[in-house]
Amino acid sequence: MSDPSSLPPAPAPADPGPTSSAHQRRKAERPQELLDAALELFVEKGFAATRAEEVAKRAGVSKGTLYLYFQSKEELLKAVIREQLSSRIIAGAQVAAQHRGSCAELLRSVFPTWWADVVRSSSSGVFKLVVGEVRNFPDIAEFYQQEVVEPGLRLVSSIVSSGMERGEFRALPVDMVAHSILLPLVMLCIHKHSLGVCCPAESLMDPEAFIRLHIDLILQGLAQPGDGA
Amino acid sequence: MSDPSSLPPAPAPADPGPTSSAHQRRKAERPQELLDAALELFVEKGFAATRAEEVAKRAGVSKGTLYLYFQSKEELLKAVIREQLSSRIIAGAQVAAQHRGSCAELLRSVFPTWWADVVRSSSSGVFKLVVGEVRNFPDIAEFYQQEVVEPGLRLVSSIVSSGMERGEFRALPVDMVAHSILLPLVMLCIHKHSLGVCCPAESLMDPEAFIRLHIDLILQGLAQPGDGA
Amino acid sequence: MSDPSSLPPAPAPADPGPTSSAHQRRKAERPQELLDAALELFVEKGFAATRAEEVAKRAGVSKGTLYLYFQSKEELLKAVIREQLSSRIIAGAQVAAQHRGSCAELLRSVFPTWWADVVRSSSSGVFKLVVGEVRNFPDIAEFYQQEVVEPGLRLVSSIVSSGMERGEFRALPVDMVAHSILLPLVMLCIHKHSLGVCCPAESLMDPEAFIRLHIDLILQGLAQPGDGA
Amino acid sequence: MSDPSSLPPAPAPADPGPTSSAHQRRKAERPQELLDAALELFVEKGFAATRAEEVAKRAGVSKGTLYLYFQSKEELLKAVIREQLSSRIIAGAQVAAQHRGSCAELLRSVFPTWWADVVRSSSSGVFKLVVGEVRNFPDIAEFYQQEVVEPGLRLVSSIVSSGMERGEFRALPVDMVAHSILLPLVMLCIHKHSLGVCCPAESLMDPEAFIRLHIDLILQGLAQPGDGA
DNA sequence: AATGAATGAGGGTTCATTCAT
DNA sequence: AATGAATGAACCCTCATTCAT
C-alpha cells in the first residue's frame, strides 16, 4: 500500500545515517501504527467512545506520544479517514480505464474481486466510521464526498453509461443504477463492522459470492429485454 | 348555540376530568417527547457525543426530568431503538401476507411505497443509530437482529422464495437475493442521516423513484431468461 | 439558646371538633411519625447519606408532606435531636434529687436501670447522631452541650461529689470520675448503633449487666481504701 | 512508635537521586498526602458530606489527581481506615507481651501513655469515622472488627485475665471488664473529634490524666477486697 | 392537607491535553 | 523522542426543594 499522502508531521523516512537504527525505524513507523490502532478502535467503538489513551496503548506507545504525531484526537480521526482511500480508488479507476471489452465483462470480472478485497481489508471499516461521524465533523463530509464518493460513483457511472451508449444496457438513470450497484457493497462493509460482528449473516459471510450474485442480478436487470444475456 | 344534542362527539382535546389534568397529560406525553428528542439527537450526533441535557432541552424539560422517565442515558438509547420497529414491520408483514398475485407484483406495488415511507419517516434514523452503537451495547445487537433484521429478511425471503417456487424467478440463493434487495434500502436510510445531510445525492433525493428503479432492476434480474418480463 | 421543646409548626393537638376524625388524628401525628422515621434513618445512615424522600416514605407520606412540617432537612435533623432529651433527663434528675440514702446505693440502684432503658430505647441513637453531625451543625453542639451533656454530668458529678463530702468516696477530681462513669455508657449506646449492628459484642448484649459491672468497678474504685465496701 | 501521621505536605528536601526526581518523589508521596487530607476531612465533616475535590485541594492537588491514586471516594475511605491501625496495635501488643511484672503495673505504666498518644495523634479520628460509617460500608465493619477491635480487646482481656489467674484481680467477666476499661478511652477519642471541638470538656483536656484516673479507678475496682492496693 | 412532577445546583468521575522530566 | 503525572473542563446522575394540582 502506498501514498500515505498527507500524513501529519511526516517524519521523513529518515536518512539511514549513523544514528539511524531500529530506533529510527520505529520512529518512522509510529504514525502508521497509530493510524492503524485508531482505525480499529474508532470503527469498533466509535470516535467519541474511544479514549486517546486506548489508541496509544494499542499502538504500543504512551498517551503523550500520540500527541507528538497528531495535534488532537480529532486530527487523528481525519488522518485515519484520509489515509484510507485514494490509492485503492485510483488503482481501481486505472484498471477500469485500461479495460477493453464489454461493460458487463468489466463489472463481472475485476469489480467483484476488487470490492471483495475492500470488504475483507481493514479499509472496509472507514465506511462505518465516516457514516457515524460526518455530521459531527463537516469537513470530513466534504473531503469524503470529493475524494471517495464522487470518484467511486463516477467510475461506476461511466461504466454503466458507456454500456448504455454501446447498447449493452437499457437506458436508465445512470446515477441511480450506480447507486443500485454500489449501495449494497458499502452496506456490506458497514454490516461487517457492526451487526455482523455479533450476528453474522450466513449469506454475507462470503463477500465475493454475494457481490457476484448482486452484480449478476443487476446486469441481467440492465440487459436489453430480449437479450439472451 | 343550539341543540347541543346534535353536536358531534365533542372535539375536546382534553377533558380536564379528575384523573387527567394538564399536569397528568404532560406526564403521559413526556416519555414519547423524550424518545423523539433522543432519536433525533442520537442519530444526528451519535450516542456518546449527545449529552443527556441536550436531549432534555430538546424535549423541553430539564435534565433531572429525563431521569424520572429513564434510568440512564443507556436505557434511553435502548428504549429509543425498541420503540422504532415492530409496528411498522408487523404492518408490512400483514400486507404481504394478505397479498394475492405474483411476487413481482407484490414487490413492485406495496414494497416501494412502504419503504419510501420508512425512509422519509424519522424511523429511518434508527438504522444509522443501531449500526453505530451495536458493538458498544451487545444486547441491542441481539434484540435488533431478532426483532428487525430477521423478520425483515424472512418477509422478503419468503416472497422471493415463493416466486422461485412458482417459476416466476430464477433459482438463486434466496438469502443473498433478499440482501441484494434490502441492503441498498437500508443504506439509503443511513445515507439520508449521514453524508446525505451535507452532500445530498441527486439520485437519492426521491427515495421512491430510486427504490422503484432498484426493484425493477432486481426483478428483471430475477426473471427467467427468455421471459418477456 | 432556647426553647428546645418547640416542635416545628406544632399542629396543636387539635380540637376534637366536628371536623376532627381519624384524618385529624393522622394530621396531628404526622410530625412525630416523621421524627421517628428521621431518627431511625439518620442514625442508620448518617444525615448526609439519608434522602429526604426515604424519611417521608418510612413515615408513610410523600416527599412534599415532609416539607409541610419541616422547613428543610436540616431543620428536621435539629428537631429530631431536640426531641430526644430533656424529658428523660429531667425525670432522672428528679429521681436522683429525691433519693435518700448513700450515694453508692443511688448509683447502684436506679442508675443502671435508667441507663439500660436509655440504651434499649431508640433514644440511644441520638448519641451516634450527634457525635457524627455536631461539627457540621454548630448550633447543635451548643444546644446539646447545654441540654444534655451538662445536666447529665452535673447530675452524676453531684452524686459523686456528695459521696466524697460524706466520706463515702475517695477525694478525686469529680468531673473526671463522672466521665469515667458516663463515657462507657454513652459509648455503649453508640456501639449499639454502629459496629454493634454488624459485629455484636457478646459482653455488651445485656446492657444492664454491663452497666452494673461497670458501676460496681467504679464504686469499689471510689471506695476509701481499707473499706470493706 | 511515634506519631506517623499529621505530617503536612512535607516538601521533603530529600536527595534528588537519579531515579528519584522531584517529580518521582511527589508521586511517591501523593497517596499519603491524600490519605492524610482525607482522614482530616472525613473525620471533620463525615464521609458523605466531604467532597472529593476538597480532599484533593487540601492535599494540594487537583480533583483528577485523586482518581489517579484511588479508584473512588469509597476506596479512599477504606484506604484511610486501613491505614490507621495495625502498626500501632501491633506495637502495643509487643510491649504488653514483653512485659514482666504485675498486671496492675502493666496497666498503670505503658497503657496510659500509649493510649494518650493515640488520643493526641490524628489516628484518634478513625474511631469517629468508623463509628459513623460502618453501617453504610459493611466490609469496613468486618475489617475493623478483626483488625482493631478484636486485637485490642484480646490484648486487654489477656492482661485482665492473667491478673485474675494470679489472684491480683477479683474474678469477674473478663470481657466486660475489658470493655469497662476500653470504652471510655475510645469515647475520649470520639469526643475529641466531635463535641470536644466545640465544647471542650475541662476534665478531658489532658487525656493522660484522665486515663490514669480511669485506670486507677478500675484497678482499685478490680482489686481483691481487703487488699491494700 | 397532600401529592409527586419538575427543577437545577451540586458532586463523583472521566478523559483530552499539557508539560516537566 | 518518549513518558506519564497532573490538570480541569465536561458530563452523568442525584437529590433537596418547590409548586401546580
Work out the average pLDDT over D103-119.
Answer: 91
In tens, the pLDDT along B50-65 reads 999 999 999 999 999 9
In tens, the pLDDT along C73-95 reads 999 999 999 988 767 777 777 77
Please indicate if any CB of chain C lies within 8 Å of the CB of D139: no
Instruction: Label residue C228 by pLDDT band (50, 70, 90).
Output: low
Query: pLDDT over 70 for what percent of chain D?
Result: 88
Q: Where are the alpha helices (DSSP H) in chain B?
A: 22-45, 52-58, 63-69, 73-83, 87-98, 103-108, 110-120, 124-133, 138-144, 150-165, 174-193, 195-198, 207-222
Instruction: Label residue C24 by pLDDT band (50, 70, 90).
Output: low
d(CA D49, CA D44): 9
CB burial string C140-155: b at 16+ within 10 A, e below = bbebbbebbbebbbeb
Give the SS3 label for residue C95: helix
Specify the range with the lowest mean pLDDT, choosing from A63-72, C23-32, D169-178, D184-193: C23-32
Distances (CA, A) of D70 to A190, D11, D132: 40, 22, 21
Comparing CA positions, the residue from B203, D151, D48 lying closest to residue C132 is: D48
For residue D223, what are the β-bridge partners? D169
Q: Which amino acid is at D94?
A: Q
Identify whether the C-beta of residue A204 lies closer than 8 Å to the C-beta of residue B179: yes
Query: What mean pLDDT is reported for chain D?
Result: 88
Highest mean pLDDT among B79-88, C215-224, D220-229: C215-224
Per DSSP, D224 falls in state P
Please name the residue that has the C-alpha cell 477525694: C171
Distances (CA, A) of D100 to D95, D96, D106, D159: 10, 9, 8, 12
Q: Please give the residue of chain D at the shortest CA–CA distance from C144.
A: D195
User: Residue A183 half-sphere exposure, CB side, CA atoms within 13 Å?
Assistant: 28
Which cell goes with C170? 475517695
Instruction: Label residue C28 by pLDDT band (50, 70, 90).
Output: confident
**What residue has its CA nearest to the C1' of E15?**
A51
pLDDT of residue D84: 84
d(CA A217, CA B169): 11
Count of Cβ atoms closer than 10 Å to residue D75 Cβ: 12
Instruction: Label residue D27 by pLDDT band (50, 70, 90).
Output: confident
Identify whether the C-beta of residue A136 lies closer than 8 Å to the C-beta of residue B45: yes
Please name the residue that has the C-alpha cell 530529600: D14
d(CA B190, CA B178): 18
Work out the average pLDDT over B125-136.
Answer: 97
pLDDT of residue A22: 60
Name which residue leads in pLDDT, B109 or D49: D49
**What residue has its CA nearest to the C1' of F10?**
B51
Contact D/B (≥3 CB pairs under 8 Å): no
- Give how far A145 is from chain B: nearest CA, Å: 7
Residue C3 has pLDDT above 70, yes or no: no
Interface test with D, best of C45, C139, C176, C208 (most D CBs within 10 A): C176
Residue D47: list chain C partners with CB under 8 A. Answer: 46, 49
Q: Distance, angstroms, CA D10 to C1' E15?
A: 30
d(CA A221, CA A160): 12
Query: pLDDT over 70 for what percent of chain C?
Result: 86
Largest CA distance in chain C: 72
- Give how far A20 is from chain B: nearest CA, Å: 42
Inter-chain CB proximity A198 and B223 less than 8 Å: no
Residue A131 has pLDDT above 80, yes or no: yes
Q: Distance, angstroms, CA B53 to C1' E14?
A: 17
Residue C14 has pLDDT above 50, yes or no: no
CATH superfamily of C74-222: Tetracycline Repressor, domain 2 (1.10.357.10)
* Nearest CB to A217; choose among B201, B209, B222: B222
**What residue has its CA nearest to the C1' of E21?**
D23
User: Residue C62 half-sphere exposure, CB side, CA atoms within 13 Å?
Assistant: 1
d(CA C87, CA C70): 22
In tens, the pLDDT along A23-52 reads 665 677 789 999 999 999 999 999 999 999
Protein residues contacting strand F, judged by Cβ under 7 Å: A 11, 26-27, 30, 61-65, 67-68; B 21-23, 50-53, 63-64, 67, 72-74; C 50-53, 63-64, 67, 72-74; D 23, 26-27, 30, 61-65, 67-68
Give the SS3 label for residue A6: coil
Spatial CB neighbours of B202, under 8 Å, sequence gap ≥ 6? A175
Largest CA distance in chain D: 70
Please indicate if any CB of chain A lies within 8 Å of the CB of B139: no
Nearest nucleotide, CA A60 to C1': F2
Specify the range with the lowest mean pLDDT, choosing from B185-199, D7-21, D134-148: D7-21
Comparing CA positions, the residue from D145, D163, D138 lying closest to residue D227 is: D163
For residue A223, what are the β-bridge partners? A169
In tens, the pLDDT along A1-11 reads 333 333 344 44
Give the SS3 label for residue D107: helix
pLDDT of residue B116: 94
Q: Which of residues 48-77 of B touch A (CB under 8 A)?
A: 48-49
Please indicate if any CB of chain C lies within 8 Å of the CB of D85: no
Strand F, nucleotides covered by protein (CB < 7 Å): 1-21
pLDDT of residue D14: 43
Spatial CB neighbours of B175, under 8 Å, sequence gap ≥ 6? A201, A202, A203, B153, B157
d(CA B128, CA B46): 9
d(CA C228, CA C219): 12
For helices D207-222 and D110-120, angle between their N-to-C axes, nearest 10 degrees? 140
Instruction: Label residue B9 by pLDDT band (50, 70, 90).
Output: very low
Name which residue leads in pLDDT, D18 or B185: B185
Q: Which of residues 155-214 of C touch D (CB under 8 A)?
A: 172-173, 175-180, 183-184, 186-188, 190-191, 193-195, 197-199, 201-204, 209-210, 213-214
d(CA A171, CA C102): 121
Work out the average pLDDT over A139-163.
Answer: 92
Q: Which amino acid is at D192?
A: K
d(CA D82, CA C129): 24
Subunits in contact with chain D (3 or more CB pairs closer than 8 Å): C
Instruction: Label residue C227 by pLDDT band (50, 70, 90).
Output: low
Query: Nucleic chain E: which protein residues 23-42 of D have CB below 7 A from it?
Result: 23-24
* Nearest CB to A221; choose among B134, B136, B221: B221
Residue D38 has pLDDT above 60, yes or no: yes
d(CA C202, CA C199): 9
pLDDT of residue C102: 87
pLDDT of residue B227: 61
Comparing CA positions, the residue from B103, B213, B107, B109 lying closest to residue B169 is: B103
Q: Distance, angstroms, CA D190 to C1' E13?
A: 32
Distances (CA, A) of D99 to D114, D125, D151: 14, 28, 17
Angle at the Cα of A133 (from A127 to A137), degrees rounded to 5?
Answer: 125
Inter-chain CB proximity D138 and C198 less than 8 Å: yes
Nearest nucleotide, CA B30 to C1': E5
pLDDT of residue D100: 80
Inter-chain CB proximity D172 and C213 less than 8 Å: yes
Please name the residue that has the C-alpha cell 517524519: A11
Residue C149: list chain D partners with CB under 8 A. Answer: 195, 199, 201
d(CA C171, CA C164): 6
pLDDT of residue A84: 83
Please name the residue that has the C-alpha cell 449492628: C197
Please indicate if any CB of chain B lies within 8 Å of the CB of A128: yes
Spatial CB neighbours of D41, under 8 Å, sequence gap ≥ 6? D50, D54, D55, D58
Q: Is the dihedral of CA C68, C74, C80, C82 positive or negative?
A: negative
Subunits in contact with chain B (3 or more CB pairs closer than 8 Å): A
Residue B86 has pLDDT above 80, yes or no: no
Which cell goes with C125? 441513637
Identify whether the C-beta of residue B122 lies closer than 8 Å to the C-beta of residue B77: no
Identify whether the C-beta of residue A42 lies closer than 8 Å to the C-beta of residue A129: yes
Instruction: Label residue A183 by pLDDT band (50, 70, 90).
Output: very high
Counted residue by residue, chain D has a size of 229
Residue C15 has pLDDT above 70, yes or no: no
pLDDT of residue A1: 36
Work out the average pLDDT over A46-65.
Answer: 97
Q: Which amino acid is at A135?
A: R
In tens, the pLDDT along C149-192 reads 998 899 899 999 999 999 999 999 999 999 999 999 999 999 99
Interface test with B, best of A130, A181, A187 (most B CBs within 10 A): A187
Identify whether the C-beta of residue D203 lies closer than 8 Å to the C-beta of residue C163: no
Domain boundaries along the sequence of chain A = 17-70, 74-222
Please indicate if any CB of chain C lies within 8 Å of the CB of D217: yes
d(CA C153, CA C179): 8
Residue C16 has pLDDT above 60, yes or no: no
pLDDT of residue C30: 83
pLDDT of residue D228: 53
Angle at the Cα of D159 (from D105 to D81), degrees rounded to 5?
Answer: 110
Distances (CA, A) of D210 to C111, C172, D103: 23, 11, 20
Interface test with B, best of A180, A191, A224 (most B CBs within 10 A): A180
Query: Nucleic chain E: which protein residues 30-59 of C have CB below 7 A from it?
Result: 30
**What residue has its CA nearest to the C1' of F21?**
B23
Give the SS3 label for residue A46: coil
Nearest nucleotide, CA C65 to C1': E2
Query: Nucleic chain E: which protein residues 51-110 of B have CB below 7 A from it?
Result: 61-65, 67-68
Region C17-70: CATH code: 1.10.10.60
Inter-chain CB proximity A219 and B221 less than 8 Å: yes
Name which residue leads in pLDDT, B111 or A15: B111
Strands of chain A, DSSP E: none
pLDDT of residue D88: 75
Q: Which amino acid is at B114?
A: W
In tens, the pLDDT along A71-102 reads 999 999 999 999 887 677 777 777 777 877 88
Inter-chain CB proximity B217 and A175 less than 8 Å: no
Give the SS3 label for residue B140: helix
